[in-house]
């Protein structure tokens, strides 16, 4: 009997997860969920032109280096730190995420090493690497927890933001008035009448819109067919306003 109890206790102890170790399939906390949705909303809807209006010189060569990093990147880093600490085992949580998304973990590691080299050599381009590579890798790592409520919120935010972006683009195209023009160190490019909408540069808008259209064509099963067709038509019209020829060809072909 004693041996039986001992074996049972041993097996139970082996099967039980260690304290603080994330369990696959568990939902994330409300703060992390809201933060991820907010980070994606900020990423897709806040351009450098908007940031300039509040004194944040994101699209520029001069000014505080901290302003060259997009606010969504700061939010993603803070969320990862919060989620790791809230798990009770920060190192174990990071290892867990890396195990689920090894390619993203490798991308983050390489980007951070490259960032250190750039800083050590005092070379330009630090902020660009952080926004382009580090933030993207960290976001994918955080999404690896596969929380259904988070993904549902992200889908809604992307649909809403991209719809608003397309409508604003068409308004700018029709009125020849740019609401948030692309700026460099505060100087607006008013001679470029292509729509800037929410994402700033026309070509950046065209690229994101093209990807969104392809996503609507291949997925978005939660939307009814009439809604999907309407969104695709709206986004294709916005592509004309953005003037991205490569994006239009990619979408059509």
Res 14: pLDDT: 40
Looking up tokens 């607006």 gives 188
Q: Are residues 33 and 66 in the same domain?
A: yes
Q: Are residues 211 and 232 in the same domain?
A: yes
Helices (H) and strands (E) in the chain, counts: 12, 2
Q: Are residues 135 and 168 in the same domain?
A: no
Q: Is residue 40 part of a domain?
A: yes
**pLDDT tens string 111-155:** 999 888 888 887 777 888 889 899 999 999 999 988 899 999 999
Q: Are residues 36 and 142 in the same domain?
A: yes
| pTM of the shown model | 0.82
Q: Are residues 196 and 115 in the same domain?
A: no
Q: Is residue 199 part of a domain?
A: yes
Q: Are residues 135 and 155 in the same domain?
A: no
Mean pLDDT over all residues of the chain?
A: 85
Q: Are residues 57 and 114 in the same domain?
A: yes
Q: How many structural domains compose the chain?
A: 2
Q: List, for the chain, all residue ranges whose pLDDT scores fall below the cut of 50.
A: 1-25
Q: Are residues 131 and 183 in the same domain?
A: no
Res 93: pLDDT: 93
Q: Are residues 49 and 130 in the same domain?
A: yes
Q: Are residues 42 and 105 in the same domain?
A: yes
Res 242: pLDDT: 94
Neighbours of 137 (CB within 10 A): 22
Where b means 16+ CB within 10 Å and e means fewer, 201-224 reads bbbbbbbbbbebbeebeeebeeee
Q: Is residue 19 part of a domain?
A: no
Q: What is the largest CA-CA distance in the chain?
A: 87
Domain that holds residue 252: 148-253
Looking up tokens 């880093």 gives 77
């Amino acid at each position: 009997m004693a041996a039986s109890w001992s074996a049972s206790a041993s097996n139970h102890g082996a099967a039980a997860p260690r304290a603080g170790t994330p369990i696959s399939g568990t939902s994330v906390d409300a703060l992390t969920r809201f933060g991820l949705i907010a980070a994606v909303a900020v990423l897709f809807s806040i351009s450098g032109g908007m940031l300039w209006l509040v004194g944040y010189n994101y699209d520029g060569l001069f000014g505080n280096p901290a302003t060259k990093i997009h606010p969504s990147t700061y939010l993603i880093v803070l969320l990862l730190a919060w989620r790791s600490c809230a798990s009770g085992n920060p190192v174990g949580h990071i290892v867990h995420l890396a195990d689920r998304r090894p390619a993203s973990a490798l991308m983050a590691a390489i980007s951070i090493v490259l960032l250190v080299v750039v800083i050590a050599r005092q070379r330009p381009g630090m902020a660009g690497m952080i926004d382009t590579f580090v933030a993207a890798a960290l976001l994918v790592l955080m999404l690896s927890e596969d929380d259904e409520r988070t993904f549902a919120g992200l889908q809604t935010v992307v649909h809403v933001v991209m719809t608003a972006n397309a409508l604003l683009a068409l308004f700018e195209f029709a009125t020849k008035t740019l609401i948030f023009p692309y700026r460099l160190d505060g100087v607006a490019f008013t001679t470029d009448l292509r729509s800037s909408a929410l994402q700033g540069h026309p070509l950046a808008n065209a690229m994101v819109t093209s990807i969104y259209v392809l996503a609507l064509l291949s997925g978005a099963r939660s939307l009814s067919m009439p809604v999907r067709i309407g969104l695709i038509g709206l986004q294709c019209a916005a592509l004309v306003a953005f003037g991205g020829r490569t994006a239009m060809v990619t979408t059509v072909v």
